[in-house]
Amino acid sequence: QQQVKQSPQSLIVQKGGISIINCAYENTAFDYFPWYQQFPGKGPALLIAIRPDVSEKKEGRFTISFNKSAKQFSLHIMDSQPGDSATYFCAASIESGAQKLVFGQGTRLTINP
Amino acid sequence: DVKVTQSSRYLVKRTGEKVFLECVQDMDHENMFWYRQDPGLGLRLIYFSYDVKMKEKGDIPEGYSVSREKKERFSLILESASTNQTSMYLCASATGGSTGELFFGEGSRLTVL
Residue B100, pLDDT score: 74
Q: Burial level of A5, CB count in 10 A (0-12/13-18/19+)?
A: middle
Average pLDDT over residues A93-106: 81
Check: CB of residue A89 under 8 Å from CB of residue A103: yes
Check: CB of residue A66 under 8 Å from CB of residue A24: no
Check: CB of residue A4 under 8 Å from CB of residue A102: yes
Kindly report the nearest CA distance between residue B80 and chain A, in angstroms. 26
Using a CB–CB cutoff of 8 Å, tell me whether B81 touches chain A. no
Using a CB–CB cutoff of 8 Å, tell me whether A103 touches chain B. yes
Which stretches in chain B have pLDDT values below 50?
A: none
Opening angle at CA B6, ends B4 and B9, nearest 5: 135
Considering only CB atoms, which chain A residues are within 8 Å of B94?
99
Tell me which residue of A84, A101, A22, A113 sits closest to B101, measured CA to CA. A101
pLDDT 10s digits, A32-91: 899 999 999 999 999 999 988 899 999 999 999 999 999 999 999 999 999 999 999 999
Residue A95, pLDDT score: 67
pLDDT 10s digits, A40-49: 999 999 999 9
Cα atoms in the 13 Å half-sphere on the side-chain side of A105? 14
Residue A52, pLDDT score: 86
Q: Which amino acid is at A49?
A: A
β-bridge partners, A28: none
